[in-house]
Structure 1
């Protein structure tokens, strides 16, 4: 009689190369059990136990296990009970991450030893989901920037997807780029940056300067002031977010700028004329490509030069100007802080300078004011005495002069608090010489008289004697006496004596005396 069928045949402890089987012995008698392994490899086992470990199997292979009872010395075999299973597939090999972006990662692996029909990819993180594929690579999408993910990849085999042991790899997705990177403040030595945080997660920010491997700042805030920069230099700033203690960083957000150039040094005004001024300066520390000259006044205009000097023309005489000079750098002419210098142009020349009302101790002068502006006038009196006068009028009386003296008068316009002086216009004249003193007639004869006098105060170069009568005539002498001859006996004569001075014989006031030839005379 055949032994009965084993009961409750069960597979457990499935691994890549072994499985365990257990069963309940049949009703009746049995002395041992035959286990037939159908698959690759194919072999038989016998055991007296009610369980067995089947080893030496191939990972991921399909096996049918027939278990039957044996009895007697000839091993009479009962009817077999069958169960089938796959061994677990092996571990994938060389699991690798590549092409990590903000929302996806790519994975690749080598297939396991043995057989596998597909692969299970478990994404552990936020979001959490599973994927399956028949390929040995996959793109995992729909991830959150800057998130941490553990990715398990295991082999599957069979219709019921027997799963092998998973291989794990972890990574952060790339954090997102910072948003609205902006330069807020630029100085000569610093740049202040601000931005908004990226979408998703991140742990910190990294700020770098392109082509400067030694500069790197890690920070948590959304702003930074980068200092110790060179004036007028061009900088490209790279700002990225990082995740996982700087294990991975986002793509860079890039912004470029010039620092402001420095201030020009030793700004100087020279060669001031009525319509132009010249400027010079020392270039600033750092870099600059050109210079902006702002002329504030009337007219108001700008100039740009690459030189360290400039001639500013087309100005109005006697005008006040503030001149700002600043450095420029870069294609967009980033402007540094301006250095200022004020000045007046020289006032113009006075016109129509005229001398009038000349007396022994004073003269009067008048003129037409110059084109442009002037606030007052300087009158320089060159002679004896030598002194200066100033006036806001267009005329002046110069007093305290010496009779018969030669004077040069220079009249120039002044403007501004520091009295910037224009070019002088000159005019020269003598003061009138003084009156002769003690005019006396003596040695009167029928045809002549003699005259003597004391010279006037001040200077005189000669004397004019006018004989008024019959005959009437003039004499001149450098002496202080004269004999007047050729007169008519018994005639009445008025004799005027005046001092002369200078090449043009400036004439003083005359002193008069009258007499008759033949000895009658009368002083008038």
Structure 2
């Protein structure tokens, strides 16, 4: 009888090759290091105002001028307080370098603040203190010149006599420029204590110019070219308005307008 003899089979063990992980993605290397800041970090040029200076002074007006050493402004604003303490703001074009402030009171100190604006924001400010001129005072009589009655008073006292009605003559134009108007008038009857000239400026703000009672003419500065103004001259006595005359005047044209705007 045959018996099967088992044949030993060698045990073969296979080891799977270890999978290698994929290499990490290559990061881009900048060719040149960044040396300039991004545009958003670049600061804009800051506009700067030069010194505010006085160009002219009268009893009723002050002329100011300034420079802009760096960067233009969109516009300017001049602020101050009038004789009654009320704040006033005068808008000025960005191309201007001077302004005349009219309607001021004589012998009074004013503080002016000039603001430079860009995109509606105040960028810089300069200030100055200016005193207006002194109005010509009436010369008082010396003690030796005061009249002394030699005879007893026979006429009724002045309080019993009706005061004469002061009257203003016609208001006329003496000269016109693009930025000023000269006016003159007469007083046919008894004199006034003083006068007041009223008008509205280019921004529509009311202006009042006090004038000495002995004056018969006035020049109104700081006006805008080719603009129609209405002037009202009031004569005052005893602090009351006694009479009024008015006139409409159009200022002259600038040279560029007269040439038709051609270069």
User: Shorter-chain TM-score: what band?
Assistant: 0.3 to 0.5
Larger proportion of strand: 1
Structure of greater relative contact order (alpha carbons < 8 Å, 6+ residues apart) = 2
Provide TM-score, normalisation by structure 2.
Answer: 0.42
Provide TM-score, normalisation by structure 1.
Answer: 0.23
Larger Rg: 1
